[in-house]
Amino acid sequence: MYDFAYHKPSSLADAVKLLAEDPDAKPISGGMTLLPALKHRLNMPTALIDLSGIAELRGIKREGDAIVIGAMVKHFEVATDPQIMAAIPALARMAATIGDTQVRNRGTIGGSLANNDPAADYPAAALALGATLITDRRQIPADDFFVGMFTTAMEPGELLIGVSFPIPEKAGYAKLRNPASRYSMTGVFVAKGPKGVGVGVNGAASCAFRQKEMEAALAANWSPEAVANIRQPANDLNSDIHGSAEYRANLVTVMAKRAVADAG
Amino acid sequence: MSETRQMRHGSSIGQPVTRRDGLLKVTGQARFAADNHPAGLLHAVLAVSRIARGRVAALDLPAARAHPGVVEVMVTANRLALALHPDDKSVPFSFKLDLLQDDRVRYAGQPIAVVIAATLEAATEAAALLAPRYEAGPVEVTLDAPGGYVPESVGVGDPGEMRHGDVEAGLRAAARRIEATYETPLQFHNAMEPHGVVAAWEGDALSLDMPTQGLALTRMRLAALLGIRAEDIHIRSPFIGGGFGSKLLSGPQVLGILAARLVGRPVKLVLTRAQMYGPVTHRSPTRQTLRLGAARDGALTAIHHHVRTATSRHDDFLEPSAGVSHTLYAAPAIATTNEAVRLDTGTPGFMRAPGEASGSIALESAIDEMAHACGMDPLEFRLRNYAEVEPVSGKPFSSKALRECYAEGAARFGWAGRPLAPRQMRDEDGLLVGWGVGTATFPAIMFQAEARAVLRRDGTGLVESGTHDMGQGAWTAFAQIGADSLGLDLDRLEFRAGHSDLPNAGIAGGSGHTATAGGAIHAAGAQAIARLTEIAVADPRSPLFGAGNVGVVARGGRLLRRDDESRGEAYADILARAGLDSVEGRGSAAADPAAAERYAMHAHGAVFAEVKVDPELGQIRATRLVGAFAAGRIINPRLVRSQYYGGMIWGLSFALHERAAMDPRTGRVMNADLAEYHVPVNADVPSVEAILVEEQDPHVNALGIKGVGEIGITGTAGAIANAIWHATGTRIRRFPVAIEELGR
């Protein structure tokens, strides 16, 4: 194992300062992706900046018509928080299906959103619900945040501190998990809110995306049948040893149908 | 010989005794090779090639040697000279080894250096610091590689081509014909325990803790490679964490031994999981074309089974997939043909049911397709084409209770009433349900083995044979045979195994270990009893005096007059009066050529499968498996059932899970780990049942044993494939079945 420095700041300001001082330093939250990457030598930072000691990054609160979740909130907390379960139960249910028990008790919502793994669950929810991503320096709408595979609109040194989800009228989620890795092969999050209908898709492409044809269909007729015959073009979808692009295209339709049924 | 041919009715054989080593295993006290840490132990780690063809241009030896804790880096230049070239294959069942003989790279994962250090971590880090540079050539790693050749032989000396009758005429005369091509994937054994060695030299004597399925062969080859006497090599292999054909002598183990010699201290070398996808053999992919013809009444008129498979560019092993078509179904014309292509991979080898497993899934699928073409129930079709004699040779079977297997399996499964057409059944959740059947078969093979049995004056017995326990239960089953052969209760018997200094027990392979080593043990025990009998019947003071003509029975530690069992004497008393501490017998066993000349000898079985398929997603669950097998005498039904379960689960894995994905550009396996190389977990196997069908075989060997190690994997994969077709109406011919081919 190679050497690196380890810092555990207790304030956001200290964390941002440490990151600014060393461009090769990396923040670490749950470490669900970064630690394996270090072990595989895919990433060799000079320093790890552990965010777990920063109180400003924790906590779940209701602010008006939105639920605001701190970046360091763990999946298990999202899955079991009474406020989230009451306001956006689909989000809690989604969190309960991430990885396994160990992952849910280590991994964080901020880490997942900032990492933007194509198969991560939360980006689809953020897109469908019209969430706002809050960083140390600005607020970014979900539509602008998820830029591409493992890529977000955040700049080097910028820290995600939380995410604000508008409370929908109803929402639902369905995914097909790879039975071995339990990553999402394709998941669809549907939401009907004050600003309209959102359909977010994860796992299918290089980056989570909105399925606008389905959004229009559900806006006109909120029912599983409304999306049952909408075919997602396979052109830009992932094809790998777990499933072809055509198979994932089919999954988008099936999961959308099941997500609407889940939403009720 | 009549003495050893005669079966004793002892108290142990046939009993479902639990594993004698079970407590050691579940409490972690069973000491596997890598659990050994002799004083002064150093750790060796392989550096392996990331290219599949070319040469190693440079290694950063100074960087690796400078790493703290590193003792030595072994490369071509400082590797000790060998007495035998690593490519020499004069020892049976051996393959060419990669022992740093030069800078050539023949496949990805080939060892290119060995780092020896004080800790595993230091050796691992230093191996990374070697940062090899390569000159890489273009690679071919799939069956789509251009060209190919027609091999003279496949498997171990099976003919590359076999023709019985006129297949083309049979096809022309057929009322129904099918032709279909099936593909099976590249597979790796993935034994739970990685290959490894703990090696310690004392002068020219070598002490090894090393898992091996063939102690004597391993010792023989090591002696030849190292230029030392076989008697000076002491191999302990009491427990093997799965071998499945991959654990004869492997190159990395020899490198560990050479590393120990180089540094003059004990060395442990254990492969990582990823390193098990290269130098320790695999099952090659196959592409099999079946052409079948059948008359209007469903009788097969012809079977042509053609196989394209692969071997490495530098060595030869061809998966003999077509062999199953020689024995399974009656047809007046049968032909099997092979073609092969050389690839830039490690050399394939024996992987559980080599040939039978991959061939069975193709043949059983094709038979099912033909049954459908004939409008017949697939079980009825198989019975219609039941082979009363071995089709190709015309020999009678030494025994064959396949009909009973079909009947008992079908009854237990509830086959009756199965709709003929596909896509007719759904469960309460709307999932498609399908039922399929496959026939299982595996030849009864024997090797050569020896054993020693001793009766002691304290009334206990000792049996010694260097047998191999790979988890199948050798410690228990051989002790049961030994106890019966000596007429002792099991708890009065000491059994020694798993060591190269014991009598040669042959190999644990080909499903022949129990028959072979069991036969040797049985003969050794019989000889010890015969010697004891000679003493007793000649002694006027013995109640058995003069009983030589009527004979005696050995049971419960006593010899008894056969005609009057109330007259007998304890072994201990006989020995004491004769002033002997013990009496010893030696036994050996091997295939009987005369019996093999007269009879075809195979185990058989029938496997029934139920699958459920999600019609929207194509997700498949194998919800029920019922197998019924007839394999001659069953020594221990509990262990045998466990073997059948394991085989059937592997069959399920073959049909639905296992596949190594090759990167055609680099020649590397892309999923060289147990996260991405899928094997079934408990959740994938809701229900498995194995029925032991009674079968007595007076010809196959003295004990009537056919072997159960591999047959379970055959039949099962085909049964599942056929059930998927029955559920969905879609015939998948590429394995493992990809859900995307069903989700439409």
> Which residue of A227, A247, A257 to mutate against B (max B Cβ within 10 Å)?
A247
Give B62 to chain A, closest Cα distance, Å: 18
A99 — contact with chain B (CB < 8 Å)?
no
Give the residue from B375, B318, B402, B352 showing the smallest Cα distance to B150: B318
Average pLDDT over residues B634-641: 97
Each residue of A98-113: pLDDT tens digit?
Answer: 999 999 999 999 999 9
> Which of B564, B590, B616 finishes a domain?
B590
> Residue B740 is nearest to which of A181, A246, A254, comparing CB atoms?
A246
Residue B401 in any domain: the answer is yes
Question: Which pTM value belongs to this model?
Answer: 0.93
Q: Per-residue pLDDT averaged across B423-442, rounded?
A: 98
CATH code, domain carrying A132: 3.30.465.10
Return the ∠ at Cα A239 (arms to A233 and A242), rounded to 5°. Answer: 125
Q: Looking at beta carbons, which residues of chain B come within 8 Å of A250? A: 616-617, 743-744
For the record, the structure tokens of B227 come out as 């230029």
- Distance in angstroms between the alpha carbons of the first and the last residue of chain B: 64
Residues B627 and B727 in one domain: yes
Query: Nearest-CA neighbor of B307 among B331, B260, B258, B341?
Result: B341
Q: Nearest residue of B to residue A40 by CA position? A: B128
The closest CB to that of A181, out of B675, B739, B743, belongs to: B675
Alpha helix segments (H runs only) across B201-309: 215-226, 251-263
Q: What is the pLDDT of residues B517-531, one digit of tens each?
A: 999 999 999 999 999
Query: What is the C-alpha separation between B312 and B151, in angstroms, rounded?
Result: 13
- Indicate yes or no: CB of B678 within 8 angstroms of CB of A180: yes
Query: Which pLDDT belongs to residue A180?
Result: 81
* Mean pLDDT value of segment B357-373: 98
Active site residue B610: no
- Rounded to the nearest integer, the mean pLDDT of chain A is 96
Are residues A228 and A114 part of one domain? yes
Question: Does residue A123 share a domain with residue A183?
Answer: yes
Question: Do the strands B334-343 and B300-312 form a parallel or antiparallel pair, or are they unpaired?
Answer: parallel
For the segment B171-175, the average pLDDT, to the nearest whole number, is: 98
Percent of chain B past pLDDT 90, that is, above it, reads: 97
Same domain? For B567 and B508 the reply is yes
pLDDT band at B744 (very low <50, low <70, confident <90, very high): low
CA–CA gap between residue A187 and residue A155 (Å, rounded): 28
Co-location of B600 and B577 in the same domain: no
**For residue B661, what are its two tokens?**
């994905």
Please tell me if residue A239 touches chain B, with a CB cutoff of 8 Å: no
Terminal-to-terminal C-alpha distance of chain A: 51
B561 and B636 housed in the same domain? no
Q: Averaged over B144-157, what is the pLDDT?
A: 96
Is pLDDT above 50 for B126? yes
In this structure, are B672 and B708 located in the same domain?
yes
Mean pLDDT score across all residues of chain B: 96
Residue A201 sits in the same domain as residue A83: yes
Query: Among B539, B566, B541, B563, which Cα is nearest to B551's?
Result: B563
Q: Do A176 and B617 touch (CB under 8 A)?
A: yes
Residue B619 to chain A, least CA–CA distance (Å)? 10
Residue A211 and residue A100 in one domain: yes
Question: How far is the alpha carbon of B683 from chain A, nearest alpha carbon, in Å?
Answer: 10
Q: Residue A248: is its pLDDT beyond 90?
A: yes
Binary contact (B125, A41; C-beta < 8 A): no
Residue B122 near residue B97, CB atoms below 8 Å: no
Mutation choice for B interface testing from A177, A227, A237, A241 by most B CBs within 10 A = A241
Give the residue from A178, A17, A19 showing the smallest Cα distance to A114.
Answer: A19
DSSP per-residue letters across B5-37: HSPP--SSTT--PPPTTHHHHHTT-S--GGG--
Strands B153-154, B158-159: pairing kind: antiparallel
Q: Minimal CA–CA distance to A208: which of A132, A136, A143?
A: A143
CATH code, domain carrying A31: 3.30.43.10
The answer on pLDDT for B427 being more than 50 is: yes
A237 vs B contacts (CB less than 8 Å): none
Whether the predicted pLDDT of B6 surpasses 60:
no
Final residue of a domain: which of A11, A35, A50? A50
Distance from C-alpha of A186 to C-alpha of A149, rounded to nearest angstrom: 15
DSSP lists the bridge partners of residue B187 as B283
Q: Are residues A37 and A64 in the same domain?
A: no
**Could you tell me if B678 and B563 lie in one domain?**
no
Together in a domain, A89 and A183 = yes
With respect to residue B648, please indicate whether it lies within any of the assigned structural domains.
yes
Taking residue A140's Cβ as centre, other Cβ atoms within 10 Å add up to: 20
Q: Which residues of A touch B620 (CB under 8 A)?
A: none
- B481 in the same domain as B586: yes
pLDDT of residue B548: 80
Residue B477 is assigned to a structural domain of this protein: yes
Q: Do A250 and B661 lie within an 8 Å CB cutoff? A: no
pLDDT at B550 (0 to 100): 84
Contact assignment for A241 to B676 by CB distance below 8 Å: yes
CA angle, B434 as apex, B428 and B438 as ends, to 5°? 150
Give the sheet arrangement for strand A47-50, strand by strand.
A5-7, A47-50, A25-28
b/e sequence B660-687, b meaning 16+ C-beta within 10 Å = bbbeeeebbbebbeeebbbeeeeebbee
Q: Which residue, A112, A139, A77, A135, is CA-closest to A208?
A: A112
Q: How much is the pLDDT for A54?
A: 97
Cβ separation of B675 and A1 shorter than 8 Å? no
- Cβ-proximal residues to B81 (8 Å cutoff; 6+ apart), any chain: none
Task: Answer yes or no: do B617 and A180 touch at CB < 8 A.
Answer: no
- The pair of three-digit structure tokens given for residue B469, joined into one six-digit string: 């326990």
Q: Are residues B219 and B43 in contact, defined by beta-carbon separation less than 8 angstroms?
A: no
d(CA A21, CA B271): 42
Inform me whether the pLDDT recorded for A181 exceeds 60: yes
Mean pLDDT of B90-95: 93
In contact, B445 and B353? CB cutoff 8 Å = no
Per the structure block, which two tokens stand in for B673?
A: 């780990």
The number of beta carbons lying within 10 Å of the beta carbon of residue B311 is: 21
Q: Does one domain contain both B600 and B685?
A: yes
If one counts the domains in chain A, the total is 2
Residue A263 has pLDDT above 90, yes or no: yes
Phi and psi at B381, nearest 5°, equal -65, -40
List the beta bridge partners of residue B396. Answer: B389
Q: Is the pLDDT of residue B5 over 50?
A: no
What band does B536 get if pLDDT is binned at 50, 70 and 90? very high
The range of the structural domain enclosing residue B730 comes to 391-445+596-742
Give the residue from B568, B590, B612 where a domain finishes. Answer: B590
Token pair belonging to B712: 């379970």
Average of pLDDT values for B532-550?
Answer: 92
All residues at 6 or more sequence positions from B201 whose CB lies less than 8 Å from its CB, including other chains:
B207, B260, B261, B264
- B716 vs B282, B357, B645, B650, B679, CA distance in Å? 20, 9, 11, 8, 15
Note whether B618 contacts A247, CB cutoff 8 Å.
yes
Residue of A nearest to B678 (CA): A180
The rounded Cα B744 to chain-centroid distance in angstroms is 38
Does residue B447 surpass a pLDDT of 80? Answer: yes
β-pairing, B111-117 vs B42-48, is antiparallel
Q: Strands (DSSP E) along B231-385, which ranges?
A: 233-236, 267-270, 286-294, 300-312, 334-343
**Contacts of residue B617 in chain A, CB cutoff 8 Å?**
176, 250-251, 254
**pLDDT tens profile A41-82:** 888 899 999 999 999 999 999 999 999 999 999 999 999 999
Residues B624 and B664 in one domain: yes
B-chain residue closest to A239, CA distance: B740
- Residues of chain A contacting residue B738, judged by C-beta atoms under 8 Å apart: 243
Q: CA A183, CA B13: separation in Å to the nearest integer?
A: 49
Interface residue of B621, B657, B739 to substitute, partner A, most A CBs within 10 Å: B739
Rg of the Cα trace of chain B? Answer: 27
Residue B222 included in any domain: no
Which residue type does B634 have? I
- How many residues make up chain B in this entry? 744
Name the one residue in this structure whose structure tokens are 């079966």: B7
Q: State how far the Cα of B233 lies from the Cα of B52, in Å rounded to an integer.
A: 34
Name the pairing type of β-strands B133-136 and B54-58: antiparallel
User: Domain limits at A96?
Assistant: 57-263
3-state SS class at B612: strand
Chain B residues touching A246 at Cβ < 8 A = 740
Residue B82 lies inside a defined structural domain of this protein: no
The confidence score (pLDDT) of residue B3 equals 36
The rounded percent of chain B whose pLDDT value lies above 70 is: 98
Cβ atoms of B525 and B12 within 8 Å: the answer is no
d(C-alpha A261, C-alpha A90), whole Å? 12
Reported as a pLDDT band with limits 50, 70 and 90, residue A241 is: confident
Q: How far apart are CA B706 and CA B719, in angstroms?
A: 23
Encoded tokens for A156: 């080097």
Same domain, A145 and A240: yes
β-pair type (A196-202, A25-28): unpaired
- The verdict on A204 and A145 lying in the same domain is yes
Reply yes or no on whether the pLDDT at B7 is more than 80: no
- Supply the pLDDT for residue A195: 81
Q: Express each pLDDT in B302-354 by its tens digit.
A: 999 999 999 999 999 999 999 999 999 999 999 999 999 999 999 999 999 99
Asked whether B16 and B636 are in contact (CB, 8 A), the reply is yes
Task: Identify the active-site residue in B140, B710, B740, B741.
Answer: B710
- Residue A221 tokens read as 């007729």
Amino acid at A18: L
Residue to substitute from B119, B120, B124, B616, interface A, most A β-carbons within 10 A:
B616
| B699 and B621 within one domain | yes
- Residues B516 and B563 reside in one and the same domain: yes
Indicate if B568 and B673 belong to the same structural domain: no
Nearest chain B CA: its distance from A109 CA (Å): 24
Q: Would you state the pLDDT for residue B1?
A: 30
In a domain, B707, yes or no: yes
Question: Final residue of a domain: which of B590, B620, B635?
Answer: B590
Query: Contact A243/B617, CB-based, under 8 Å?
Result: no
Cα three-residue angle A22-A28-A32, rounded to 5 degrees: 145
Cα–Cα distances in angstroms (integers) from residue B125 to residues A141, B70, B278, in the given order: 44, 10, 21
Distance CA A167, CA A162 (A): 16
DSSP string, A154-195: PPTT--EEEEEEEPPSEEEEEEEE-TTT--EEEEEEEEEETT
Query: Backbone phi, then psi, for B435, in 5-degree steps?
Result: -120, 140
Confidence of residue B742 (pLDDT cuts 50, 70, 90): confident
Q: Which of A35, A50, A65 is the last residue of a domain?
A: A50
Residue A250 contacts B where some CB pair is shorter than 8 Å: yes
pLDDT in tens, B290-302: 999 999 999 999 9
Residue B94 domain-assigned?
no
**Residue B471 belongs to a domain with what CATH number?**
3.30.365.10
d(CA A242, CA B663): 15
C-alpha pair distances (Å), A252 with each of A205, A211, A259, B350, B565: 11, 9, 10, 42, 79
Domain count, chain B: 2
Under a CB-based contact definition with an 8 Å cutoff, are residues A32 and A119 in contact? no
Residue in chain B nearest A175 by alpha carbon: B617
> Which pLDDT value is given to residue B714?
97
Which phi and psi (to 5°) does residue A38 adopt?
A: -65, -45
Q: pLDDT band at residue B743, thresholds of 50, 70 and 90?
A: low
> What does the alpha-carbon distance between residue B180 and residue B173 come to, in Å, rounded to a whole number?
19
Nearest to B443 by CA among B334, B333, B320: B320
B691 φ, ψ to 5°? -105, 130
Closest CA to B475 of B93, B6, B23, B10: B23
CB of B619 within 8 A of CB of B681? no
